[in-house]
Chains A and B, each alone.
Chain A
Amino acid sequence: MMPSLPELGIYFSLLLFIVGIFGVMFRKNIIFMMLSVEIMLNAANLAFISASTLTNTIDGQVVMFFVMAVAACEAGIGLALIISLYRAKSSIEIDDLRMLRG
């Protein structure tokens, strides 16, 4: 028998999250890495909503709004950081930015 829609949402969120992880791990461009982080956040949101539907509670949906707010802030600050990094190093390749090593 087919799983119900919220269950499918959970599975889909897992898939999305893994896609996001791989994006962060294997992309070298910081902008793409940020996009991947957004994907992961959206995967988390989807998981919250699905779980809240499954358990008939509203908490998950509330948390989703907070996450969207945080993600918006993160995108703004992150882009600002990327611009100033580009000014300093003329590059947004993540592997060129390795000044903090042991």
Chain B
Amino acid sequence: MHDQTLLALIVLFPLIGALLNAFVFRHMSVVVSCLTATLAVAIPFILSLILFFGPIAKGTPVIAELFDWISVPLINGKEFNISFALTADRLSGLFLLVITGVGTLIHLYSGEYMHHENRPYRFFVYLNLFIVSMLLLVLGSNMLVTFLGWEGVGVCSYLLIGYWYEDTANSMAAIKAFIANRVGDAGFLIAMFLCYMLFKTINYSEIATIIAATPQNFYTEHSLEITLIGLCLLLGVAGKSAQIPLYTWLPDAMAGPTPVSALIHAATMVTSGIYLMNRVSFVLVLSPTVMTTIAIVGAATAILSATIGFAQTDIKKVLAYSTCSQLGYMVLACGVGAFQYGVSHVITHAFFKACLFLGAGSVIHAMHHEQDIRKMGGLFKRMPITSITFIIATLAIIGFPGFSGFFSKDAILAAAWSGPFGNPILWFVGWITAGFTAFYMLRLTWLVFFGESRAEHPEKIHETNYVITLPLIILAIFSALGGLIAIPEVFTGKEDFITRFLSPVLMQSEEILKASGIHGNPLSHSMEFGLMGASIIIVFIGALFAITVYKNGPQGGERFANAFGGFYRLIRDKWRVDELYNLVIYQPLAHFGSFLYRIIDRKVIDGVVNGIPETLYTGTSVASDAQSGMARNYLKFIYIGVFVFGLILFL
């Protein structure tokens, strides 16, 4: 089979799965729905493997031009042409594997997690559509196809977060996610328009060719446009990848079923920002302003959401803020110019975050929908598989030496110090964040799995079945080993895998940096070991501190909270950012809206709309009263008319 056909099939299968579930298997059992949906993602996973280890690994991108999408003749005689084309190169190849691989496990898991639902087929339709959109996003050859997927994941996340839509809070969370994403989408759209204005094309490879032809032209003459494009793209990234200022939707997105959280947080939506920044890296590096802004946004998001993680009591909320924080790391990596480490952290994060979320789901399932970690504890004895996999993933996320998160996070921290736009302050923020991460993750793990059980009926809690534990085990193995893709040079003596693997994609941005004289400061090996040692130390400090404080259950945390008082309340209330947005954005908009309603809508528009018929009605009733049926009245009118007419003629 042609590689192009394979590529098209990868997108087609989940779509067929969604359609089958939506229209054919509506009334079948959950087993049928789940198997259809899982196969619809598992087959593309196998196809992705074939493509990945075939042409993509060899270095030849697979390009499938499916059909002419938009074709408009322009007035200057040229034609505006956008074809629906898919490109799988090394970057999208990696994402393909993560999306379909982790996606398959999450689909499988959902079969057990959602089996008691009334109409689970609806859930699987949305999940499959989510995968289709995400695949389009990473495979699009031009910005418009990417935007189609970009919008698609937005819609699917809205549908999935609000899956239990009978509950108002869930619907509100879905709406919030959708609106925050729309703000970001506006940024992406504007960036796309600006790209077309500047380059007369929105095809990634064509833009790359244009920039490669005259790079210096873009620093000098078009630096303003490039900066604008970069900042608008950053807004889009902030919306999808939950960065400041648009991160508030992600924790609220916990309202959806747990597999959804895993899918959104690990494999799909939130990684699309990192993907996009890699894809357009050659545009971003043209503007140091943009790169610095990206790095600062990433670092700020990382540390801000890590602090919020300290005080959350909902197991999924803690994980949600940890996602924000880890995404901050990835954005920081892109911002300092180490795009490939953003990708490697996306991949390791996909494994351990999916494992954490599915593990949390397993706990919630076993605890009969109890999500408050203060009411858990001592689950290690009762749920050994879930506990061990969860702990492995925790070790991975905090960057315990040897686990995957250690290598991918260390690579980011080293780049934050030494990268082209790196800076010791950025490193310091990332370093502190690593300690914070260790603290809140260990707090979570300790309160859930160790100590005395604080559940009402601890004896009823037991391990969930293999449909749930199997994905956990697979993900835990990858959480432990996934770091192999980013083992740094100091250990192996050669450049790390991810840098080598992505170098064809990122080559152009490196050349641009080199040409413009911006370069990183290569770290000496002793310095690199020093940085690594520093991050190991802070991780251990954070972890031990958490265990010391929480070894006797949540009371330790309360003493801690009393010691900090107001500051603790501030972070428990998530820095009151939602309240700030409410005050600064929502309230003025609501007042403006009610002004529009009361004055413009009710008075002006309703006034005009109702006024016209009212005037006509009054006018006609006067006119119809004139037709009194009394001959003498008619005569009067005739005489008056003749008189007036005569007067006019006479004058």
Contacts and interface: CB of A to CB of B under 8 A. Distances in A.
Interface of A: 21, 24-26, 28, 94-95, 97-102
Given A25-B632, A101-B627, A101-B628, 13 more contacts: A24-B632, A95-B632, A97-B631, A98-B628, A98-B630, A99-B629, A100-B629, A101-B629, A101-B630, A102-B623, A102-B626, A102-B627, A102-B629
Contact of A94 (B623, B630, B639): B630
A25 B635 CA distance: 7
Contact of B625 (A21, A26, A102): A102
B636 A25 contact: yes
23 contacts: A21-B639, A24-B632, A25-B632, A25-B635, A25-B636, A26-B632, A28-B632, A94-B630, A94-B631, A94-B632, A95-B630, A97-B631, A98-B629, A99-B629, A100-B629, A101-B628, A101-B629, A101-B630, A102-B623, A102-B624, A102-B625, A102-B626, A102-B627
A97 B630 CA distance: 7
A14 to B, nearest CB: 13
Nearest to B627: A102
A101 B623 CA distance: 12
Interface string B55-81: 000000000000000000000000000
Contacts of B635: 24-25
Contacts of B627: 101-102
Contacts of B629: 98-102
B603 to A, nearest CB: 34
A99 B630 CA distance: 9
Q: Which 6 A-B pairs have the closest CB atoms?
A: A101-B629, A102-B627, A98-B629, A102-B624, A100-B629, A98-B630
Contacts of B631: 94, 97-98
Interface residues of B, number: 13
A102 B623 CA distance: 9
B630 to A, nearest CB: 5
Contacts of A21: 639
B637 to A, nearest CB: 11
B639 to A, nearest CB: 6
A26 B630 CA distance: 12
Interface in B607-631: 623-631
A99 B627 CA distance: 11
A94 B631 CA distance: 7
A94 B628 CA distance: 13
Contacts of B636: 25
Contacts of A25: 632, 635-636, 639
Nearest to A30: B631
A74 to B, nearest CB: 16
B505 to A, nearest CB: 82
A101 B628 CA distance: 5
Interface of B: 623-632, 635-636, 639
B382 to A, nearest CB: 89
Nearest to A24: B635
Contacts of A28: 632
A100 B624 CA distance: 12
A25 B630 CA distance: 11
A100 B627 CA distance: 8
Give the residue among B627, B630, B632 with the most A Cβ atoms within 10 A.
B632
Nearest to A26: B632
Nearest to B620: A102
B257 to A, nearest CB: 68
Contacts of A101: 627-630
Contacts of B626: 102
Contacts of A99: 629
A102 B636 CA distance: 17
A95 B629 CA distance: 9
A87 to B, nearest CB: 19
A82 to B, nearest CB: 13
A98 B625 CA distance: 13
Nearest to B631: A94
Contacts of B639: 21, 25
A25 B643 CA distance: 14
A44 B262 CA distance: 102
Nearest to B630: A98
B236 to A, nearest CB: 65
Contacts of A102: 623-629
Contacts of B625: 102
Contacts of A94: 630-632
Contacts of A95: 630, 632
A30 B635 CA distance: 13
A99 B631 CA distance: 10
A92 to B, nearest CB: 12
Nearest to B642: A21
B15 to A, nearest CB: 65
Nearest to B626: A102
A97 B631 CA distance: 8
Nearest to A28: B632
Nearest to A100: B629
B628 to A, nearest CB: 6
Nearest to B643: A21
A98 B634 CA distance: 11
A25 B626 CA distance: 16
Nearest to A27: B632
A98 B630 CA distance: 5
A25 B625 CA distance: 19
A28 to B, nearest CB: 8
A21 B636 CA distance: 9
A98 B632 CA distance: 10
B597 to A, nearest CB: 40
Contacts of B624: 102
A26 B631 CA distance: 11
A102 B621 CA distance: 10
Nearest to A94: B631
A24 B630 CA distance: 13
A26 B629 CA distance: 16
Contacts of B630: 94-95, 98, 101
